[in-house]
Amino acid sequence: MSKLKFFALFCIGCLIASCSDNKIDNNPAAQLKVQGSALLNEKGDTVVLRGVSLGWHNWWPLFYDSETVKWLKKDWHINLIRAAIGVEPDGAYLRNPPFAKECLYKVVDAALSEDLYVIIDWHAHEIHTSEAQYFFTQVAEKYKDNPKVIYEIFNEPTDKCSWEEVKQYSIEVIKTIRAIDPDNLILLGNPHWDQDLDKVAADPITGFKNIMYTLHFYAATHKQYLRTRADQAIAKGIPIFVSECAGMEATGDGPINYNEWQAWLEWMEQHKISWAVWSVTNKAETCSMITPDNQKKAEWTDNDLTEWGLIIKNCLQKIYP
C-alpha cells in the first residue's frame, strides 16, 4: 500500500466519527416532503440521504452503467446517487440529446431497481430555459410515478447569473415539472456556484411545495464563512440540500483539507442535511474517486480507488454498516 493511501486510511477514522452517530435507515420510506428547512419521509421522520455523484456523462459515460450503480449500493452502501447530465460542453446534452438520455436512463433505471434515491441533475452553468423545460418534461413523464426520483434543475449558476434571473428560470421549470409530477422533490440552484444562499433567503421562491435549495462546497476553498451564510439561511427557514461537495479545492484538485472536510461533515450532520460527494470518475485529479484511466465499471478494490475514493467509501460503509 502506498504512503498516500496509508495516510488516507489513517485519517478515515477521524473523518467518519461525526457521521457515524446519526445512523438512519438505508431505505427510508420513499415519498419525500419538505417541511420548513427539514426533509421528511412519508412517516414524518427526518431523512438524511448520503451518496455520490457521477461525473459529467459526456466525459465519463463508462460509469453510467447498471454495474456501477449496483456496486456502489452493494459495496459503498449508498442510498443516493446523482447523474450529472452535462449540458453545454461538446458532446453534452445540447449537442447530443439522445446520448445524454441514454446515459441518464441507464443510471436512473438501475438506481430505482436497487431502491436508491436518484438525482437527475441538469448539469449546466448557464440558463437554457426552453431546453431545460423540454428535458424535464420528458424525464418527468417517464419517472413521475416513482417518488425516489429527485429533479435538480440547475447545477451551478455562475456569478454571471443574478438571483433574479435564476429565480425566474426556476419558477418556469418548476411549473413544467409540477404539471406532470406534483410531489417529487425539486432542487434549485443559486448564483455563484450555489453559494449565494443569502440572496435566496432574502427573496425565496414561494407557492410551490417540496423544493429545496442546493449548496455546493469544496472544503479547501469554502470554509467557515460559507457555513455561517448557510446557518443564516436555515434560520430563515431555507431548506438546503448539498448535492455536490468534496474536500479539496474548488478546482477539484489540490490537497484534501481534512480539518475543513471534518467541519463540513459535522455541520451537515448537525443540521440533518443530505449530501452527494463529487465524483465517480477516473480523471487524474484529487476529486476523482477511481484511479486514473482505470476502466473497471465496478468491483473496485482499494487499489482501484484514490485517496478521496477510499475516504468516501469507508465513510459511507461506517454510516450504513
Confirm if 267 and 277 have CB atoms less than 8 A apart: no
Annotated active-site residue in 114, 244, 260, 307: 244
What is the distance between the terminal CA atoms of the chain, rounded to a whole angstrom? Answer: 24
Measured distance CA(180)–CA(292) in Å, rounded: 41
In the residue annotation, 67 being an active-site residue is answered as no
Assess contact for 93 and 134: CB atoms under 8 A.
no
Q: Is 285 a catalytic residue?
A: no
Q: Which of 42, 88, 114, 156 is catalytic?
A: 156
Residue count of the chain: 321
SS3 129: helix
CA nearest to 116, candidates 186, 56, 28, 47: 28
The Cα diameter of the chain in Å comes to 55
User: Which one, of 276, 279, 260, lies nearest residue 11 by Cα?
Assistant: 260
Local structure of 46: helix, strand or coil? strand
Residues annotated as catalytic (active site), given as ranges: 156, 244
